[in-house]
Structure 1
Amino acid sequence: MVRALHLAALAATTSLVQGHFRFVRIAHNGVWQKPLQYIRNVTDPFYEPFNPAFDPRPNRSMTDPTYYGDAPNSVRCGRDNLNHAPTTEVLKVKAGDTLEFVNANTGYEQFEDKRFWECEDGRGYCSNFGEQSPQQYWMRIVHPGPVQMYLSAVPAGQDIGHYDGSGEWVKIKTFGVEIHKDMKKPYWLPNNGTDDGYGSGTQGLPVRMPFKIPTQTPPGSYLLRVDMVYANGDYATQLYPSCAQILVESSATGALPKGVKFPEAYEPSQPGVTVSWPQGVGIELDSNYTYPGGDLWTGEKLVVDTPDRTPI
């Protein structure tokens, strides 16, 4: 336990190291919106309930990880997000549209600096300092683990700016792991197969993670949640949640299928939340590993969200 607490403290010591980040920007059909325009902001600093089993430091910044033992609203959409929800704009989309999130580890003072947001190849975040730095710096996810997207319908009669996300969440996308014949280790798509904490990945650039709102999504207001889940056998599982506020236009009828609730789905005994040390450091994949956060909705049905272990 002493070792686990030490590692947890070490992992969360600095907020602006490359391993810590937030999803702060969303693209709609290939067009990047302003940082935090449609994504709920968080309060920085924010004091979480003291729980040494997860993180011995209750005082957290905007990019620090979130843990199962934190405040429920922190686990759902980020620290103190509900206080920022009424001033967050609502993105109007159509069922079937393509969306994309990007993560960053910049502070608020850099949100108006275009050098971080006007990037090559249609990417949503970089560090571009022109002649001073001819090569752009791309923000990477360096931890092994999935990035997942969820929808939660705003209850009837409730305004999206006051919805706390305590209802059910339906998973619509997982960017997970692949098994490559020419690689000894599992290839985690979100971190591009990076072997070490600050490596460049197999392709040199971070992967992009566009996804679609299922065409079968009924019309209405939703919280769209993105999260990266970093499970490590040595210390508590880290979460990096953000939520966008969206209004879906659709001809579909009915309701979303049954989903999960947060933070309950991240209880350490739930599938995919606790892994072995070898999986946690990216060496191998546990034989019984299933992605966390419940089943995946394909638009047609719910399926068990598990990695495809067929080598490619």
Structure 2
Amino acid sequence: MFISVALTTLALAVSQVAAHGGVLQYEINGEWYQGFKAYNTPVGQVSIQREWDTYNPITDPTDSFLACNNNGASLGSGQQSATVPAGSKVAAYWNPWPHSIGPVMVYMANCNGACSTATPSSLEWFKIDEAGLISGSVADGQWAQGELIAQNSSWTTTIPASLKPGEYFLRHELLAIHTPNQPQFYPECAQLVITGSGSSQPSGSYLVKFPGAYSMSDPGVNINVYSETTVYNYTIPGPAVWQG
């Protein structure tokens, strides 16, 4: 009986990992950075990524962990930051991603000091990249997440060249909407030290907080894609993209 229960539990865990996921690695200017290893103790791990404990999604847009996933904590002595010149390309590599329906969004936040001691939910975030419905109808068209899958489950983003130097979080987010009226948020955060001679910073409506940026009343969050066979537009949630 014990063996049977153990095997059932293992099979469930494997199926969950296969069904969902997160960012496992980053490539920045030809250099590779290991992501946090979920389902493992943070003790002894070294990463530019904040801790995330499960491949399962966040399903409530007001969840307190929406900024950097559950639990989003600093790794202490193992927490690193990648030094990145403004204007650089950053590629985030996910596990083999299974969901092809939904947008890809990338945000940053100025830590106003050291990111390792910053609380992600208290920061102001700005969007630097997004892609949603590429072509076709909402029900059976080509989505950004399908494009991500075709790119070896990766997404490449350019850090705005005019961004003011400092310590920042970089937040990748997939919003899977393949389940009717039940969003699945997959946010991941990495720490960067931005260098360069830029002086630009976003303000006003470009800045949002997590939670707070989304709600279940947003048409791009609370959606049944399968009933939208004649709809060819999708509204990506959150603020407009800040391009510097």
Provide the TM-score with structure 2 as the length reference. 0.78
Residue-by-residue CA offset, 1:103-161 (whole Å, 9 max, x unaligned): 12xxxxxxxxxxxxxxxxxxxxxxxxxxxxxxxxxx13424011111010012xx4211
Report if the CA contact (8 A) 1:30-1:99 is conserved.
Answer: no
> Deviation of residue 287 (structure 1)?
5.2
Name the CA distance, whole Å, in 2 between partners of 1:70 and 1:268. Answer: 9
Partner of 2:35: 35
Deviates more, 1:24-33 or 1:285-294: 285-294
Partner of 2:123: 167
Report if the CA contact (8 A) 1:150-1:224 is conserved.
Answer: yes
Report if the CA contact (8 A) 1:66-1:238 is conserved.
Answer: yes
Q: Which runs of 5+ in 1 are unaligned?
A: 1-11, 44-61, 105-138, 194-200, 300-312
Aligned residues: 218
Name the CA distance, whole Å, in 1 between partners of 2:140 and 2:32. Answer: 33
> Deviation of residue 270 (structure 1)?
2.7
Q: Give the match's secondary structure for 2:94.
A: strand
Residue-by-residue CA offset, 1:235-275 (whole Å, 9 max, x unaligned): 42111111000010021114223311111122111352111
The structure showing larger relative contact order (alpha-carbon pairs under 8 Å, at least 6 residues apart) is: 2
User: Structure 1 residue aligned with 2:196, among 221, 225, 250?
Assistant: 250
Percent of aligned positions that are identical? 24
User: Structure 2 residue aligned with 1:64, among 22, 36, 56?
Assistant: 56
Amino acid at match of 1:154: C
User: Structure 2 residue aligned with 1:213, among 152, 159, 163?
Assistant: 159
Report if the CA contact (8 A) 2:181-2:222 is conserved.
Answer: no
Report if the CA contact (8 A) 2:93-2:153 is conserved.
Answer: no
Partner of 1:239: 185
Q: Aligned Cα RMSD in Å?
A: 2.8
Q: How does 1:176-195 map to 2 (within 5 A)?
A: 176-179=132-135, 185-192=140-147
Q: How does 1:95-244 map to 2 (within 5 A)?
A: 95-104=86-95, 139-155=96-112, 158-165=113-120, 166-179=122-135, 185-192=140-147, 206=152, 208-232=154-178, 234-244=180-190
> Deviation of residue 227 (structure 1)?
0.6
Partner of 1:20: 20
Partner of 2:8: none
> Deviation of residue 185 (structure 1)?
2.9
Q: Which runs of 5+ in 2 are unaligned?
A: 1-12, 37-46
Amino acid at match of 2:55: T
Provide the TM-score with structure 1 as the length reference. 0.62
Name the CA distance, whole Å, in 1 between partners of 2:182 and 2:140. Answer: 22
